[in-house]
A and B are shown apart, each in its own frame.
Chain A
Amino acid sequence: MHGGETPRPPFDGPVRHVYVHVPFCRARCDYCAFASVAVGGGGSATDVPRLFDAYVEGVAAEWERERAAHDVRRLRTLYLGGGTPSLLGPDRLERLLTVFRPHLTPQAEVTVEVNPEDAGTEFAAWAAGARRSPGSGALRGVRISLGVQSFLPELRAALGRTAQADPRAAFDRLRAAGVASIGLDLIHGIPGQTPELLAGDIATVLDLRPDHVSWYELDVSEGTALARRLARAEGTAGGGRRAAPVAALADDVRAAGYRRLVRALSRAGYDWYEVSNFARPGHKARHNLACWRARPYLGLGPGAVSTVGARRWTNSADPRAWAAALAAGRRPTRSVEELDDATRARERLLLAARCGEPVPLEAVSAVVDPDALAASAGAGLVSVRGGTLRVTRKGRHVADGLCVRLFRAPRLRG
Chain B
Amino acid sequence: MAVVTPLDHIRNFSIIAHIDHGKSTLADRILERTGTVAPRDMKEQLLDKMDLERERGITIKSQAVRIAYAARDGQTYQLNLIDTPGHVDFTYEVSRSLAACEGAVLLVDATQGVEAQTVANAYLAVDNDLEIIPVLNKIDLPASDVPEAEMELHELTGATHDEILTISAKTGEGVDEVLEAVVQRTPPPEGDPTAPPRALIFDSEYDQYRGVIAYVRVVDGHFDRRQLVTLMSTGQGAEIEELGSFGPGMTPAERLETGEVGYIITGVKDVAQVRVGDTITDRRRPAGEALPGYKVVHPMVFTGLFPTEGDKFEELRDALEKLKLNDAALLYEPESSVALGFGFRCGFLGLLHMDIVRERLEREYGLELITTMPNVEYHAHLTGGGMAVVRNPAQMPEANSIERVEEPYVTASILVPSQFVGTIMELCQGRRADFVDMKYLSPERVEMHYRLPLAEIVLDFFDQLKTRTRGYASLDYDYSGYRASDLVKLDVLLAGEPVDALSLIIPRESAHQRGKALVTKLRQKIPRQLFEVPVQAAIGNKVVARETVKAVRKDVTAKCYGGDISRKRKLLEKQKEGKKRMKQLGVVEVPQEAFLAVLELEPGAKGR
A216 to B575, CA, bound (A): 22
Q: Which residues of B contact A351 (CB under 8 A)?
A: 560, 565
Q: Which residues of A contact B571 (CB under 8 A)?
A: 400
A410 to B565, CA, bound (A): 19
Q: Which residues of A contact B569 (CB under 8 A)?
A: 343, 346-347, 350
Give the shortest distance, in Å, between B399 (CB) and chain A (any CB).
30
Give the shortest distance, in Å, between B283 (CB) and chain A (any CB).
49
Contact of B577 (CB < 8 Å), options: A305, A399, A410: A410
Over the window 375-414 of chain A, the binary record of Cβ atoms lying under 8 Å from chain B Cβ atoms (1 yes, 0 no) is 1101111000000000000001111111111010110101
Cβ contact within 8 Å between A398 and B562: no
Q: Which residues of A contact B338 (CB under 8 A)?
A: none
A45 to B329, CA, bound (A): 86
Cβ contact within 8 Å between A275 and B560: yes
Which residues of B518-577 are within 8 A (CB) of A? 530-531, 552-563, 565-566, 568-569, 571-573, 575-577
Q: List 17 A-B contacts (CB under 8 A).
A: A275-B556, A276-B558, A291-B562, A291-B565, A346-B572, A350-B569, A351-B560, A371-B584, A381-B530, A397-B554, A398-B552, A398-B554, A398-B555, A399-B556, A400-B555, A400-B557, A414-B311
Does B322 touch A at the CB level, under 8 Å? no
A-B complex: 9 closest residue pairs judged by Cβ atoms: A379-B531, A401-B555, A305-B563, A375-B587, A216-B558, A255-B554, A399-B556, A217-B558, A398-B555
Give the shortest distance, in Å, between B563 (CB) and chain A (any CB).
4
Tell me the B residues contacting A by CB distance below 8 Å: 310-311, 530-531, 552-563, 565-566, 568-569, 571-573, 575-577, 579-580, 584, 586-587, 589
Contact of B561 (CB < 8 Å), options: A252, A291, A347, A381: A291
Kindly list 11 other residue pairs between chains A and B, CB separation below 8 angstroms, not including A259-B553, A304-B563, A379-B530: A276-B559, A291-B561, A304-B562, A306-B562, A346-B569, A397-B555, A398-B552, A398-B555, A401-B556, A403-B572, A409-B580
Which residues of A5-58 are within 8 A (CB) of B? 19
Cβ contact within 8 Å between A398 and B556: yes
Cβ contact within 8 Å between B562 and A412: no
A410 to B566, CA, bound (A): 17
Give the shortest distance, in Å, between B553 (CB) and chain A (any CB).
4
Q: Which residues of A contact B589 (CB under 8 A)?
A: 405
A307 to B586, CA, bound (A): 38
Q: Which residues of A contact B559 (CB under 8 A)?
A: 216, 219, 276
What residue of chain B has the Cβ atom nearest to residue A404's Cβ?
B575
What residue of chain B has the Cβ atom nearest to residue A306's Cβ?
B562
Give the shortest distance, in Å, between A54 (CB) and chain B (any CB).
23
Cβ contact within 8 Å between B577 and A350: no
Which residues of A286-302 are within 8 A (CB) of B? 288, 291-292, 297, 299
Give the shortest distance, in Å, between B534 (CB) and chain A (any CB).
13
A375 to B532, CA, bound (A): 12
What residue of chain A has the Cβ atom nearest to residue B311's Cβ?
A412
Q: Which residues of B contact A252 (CB under 8 A)?
A: 553
Give the shortest distance, in Å, between A11 (CB) and chain B (any CB).
10
A410 to B577, CA, bound (A): 6
Give the shortest distance, in Å, between A165 (CB) and chain B (any CB).
24
Give the shortest distance, in Å, between B172 (CB) and chain A (any CB).
56
Cβ contact within 8 Å between A255 and B573: no
Does A354 touch B at the CB level, under 8 Å? yes
Does A258 touch B at the CB level, under 8 Å? yes
Give the shortest distance, in Å, between A268 (CB) and chain B (any CB).
20
A346 to B566, CA, bound (A): 10
A305 to B561, CA, bound (A): 9
What residue of chain B has the Cβ atom nearest to residue A346's Cβ?
B569
Does A337 touch B at the CB level, under 8 Å? yes
Q: Which residues of A contact B586 (CB under 8 A)?
A: 375
Does A149 touch B at the CB level, under 8 Å? no
What residue of chain B has the Cβ atom nearest to residue A354's Cβ?
B560
Cβ contact within 8 Å between B587 and A407: no
Q: Which residues of A contact B576 (CB under 8 A)?
A: 404, 407, 409-410
Cβ contact within 8 Å between B531 and A381: yes
Give the shortest distance, in Å, between A85 (CB) and chain B (any CB).
15
What residue of chain B has the Cβ atom nearest to residue A217's Cβ?
B558
What residue of chain B has the Cβ atom nearest to residue A381's Cβ?
B530
Cβ contact within 8 Å between A19 and B580: no
Which residues of A253-300 are within 8 A (CB) of B? 254-256, 258-259, 275-276, 288, 291-292, 297, 299
Give the shortest distance, in Å, between B556 (CB) and chain A (any CB).
4
Q: Which residues of A contact B553 (CB under 8 A)?
A: 252, 255-256, 259, 397
Cβ contact within 8 Å between A410 and B555: no
Cβ contact within 8 Å between B566 and A337: yes
Q: Which residues of B contact A414 (CB under 8 A)?
A: 311
A288 to B566, CA, bound (A): 16
Give the shortest distance, in Å, between A393 (CB) and chain B (any CB).
12
Does A314 touch B at the CB level, under 8 Å? yes
Q: Which residues of B contact A404 (CB under 8 A)?
A: 572, 575-576, 579
A414 to B313, CA, bound (A): 13
What residue of chain B has the Cβ atom nearest to residue A262's Cβ?
B554
A321 to B329, CA, bound (A): 74
A347 to B557, CA, bound (A): 15
Q: Which residues of B contact A229 (CB under 8 A)?
A: none
A256 to B325, CA, bound (A): 61
Q: Which residues of A contact B310 (CB under 8 A)?
A: 412
Q: Considering residues B556, B573, B576, B584, which has the most beta carbons from chain A within 10 angstroms of its beta carbon?
A: B556
What residue of chain A has the Cβ atom nearest to residue B578's Cβ?
A404
Give the shortest distance, in Å, between A373 (CB) and chain B (any CB).
11
Give the shortest distance, in Å, between B575 (CB) and chain A (any CB).
5
Does A131 touch B at the CB level, under 8 Å? no
Given contacts A346-B569, A379-B530, contact A219 B557 (CB under 8 A): yes
Given contacts A379-B587, A405-B530, contact A297 B562 (CB under 8 A): yes
Does A334 touch B at the CB level, under 8 Å? no
Cβ contact within 8 Å between A402 and B565: no
Give the shortest distance, in Å, between B570 (CB) and chain A (any CB).
9
Q: Which residues of A contact B561 (CB under 8 A)?
A: 288, 291
Contact of A275 (CB < 8 Å), options: B552, B558, B566, B575: B558
Cβ contact within 8 Å between B587 and A401: no
Given contacts A258-B554, A379-B531, contact A350 B566 (CB under 8 A): no
Given contacts A400-B555, A412-B311, contact A305 B562 (CB under 8 A): yes
Does A312 touch B at the CB level, under 8 Å? yes
What residue of chain A has the Cβ atom nearest to residue B495's Cβ?
A375
Q: Which residues of A contact B552 (CB under 8 A)?
A: 398, 401
What residue of chain B has the Cβ atom nearest to residue A337's Cβ?
B566
Q: Which residues of B contact A288 (CB under 8 A)?
A: 561
Give the shortest distance, in Å, between B228 (CB) and chain A (any CB).
48
A219 to B571, CA, bound (A): 15
Given contacts A255-B554, A346-B569, A347-B569, contact A401 B530 (CB under 8 A): yes
What residue of chain A has the Cβ atom nearest to residue B310's Cβ?
A412
Cβ contact within 8 Å between A350 and B580: no
Over the window 310-350 of chain A, the binary record of Cβ atoms lying under 8 Å from chain B Cβ atoms (1 yes, 0 no) is 00101000000000000000000000010000010011001
Cβ contact within 8 Å between A219 and B558: yes
A259 to B573, CA, bound (A): 26
Give the shortest distance, in Å, between B568 (CB) and chain A (any CB).
6
A61 to B577, CA, bound (A): 42
Q: Which residues of B contact A292 (CB under 8 A)?
A: 560
Given contacts A19-B562, A291-B562, A312-B566, contact A407 B554 (CB under 8 A): no
Give the shortest distance, in Å, between A108 (CB) and chain B (any CB).
18
A410 to B579, CA, bound (A): 10
Given contacts A314-B563, A346-B569, A350-B572, contact A396 B557 (CB under 8 A): no
Give the shortest distance, in Å, between B314 (CB) and chain A (any CB).
11
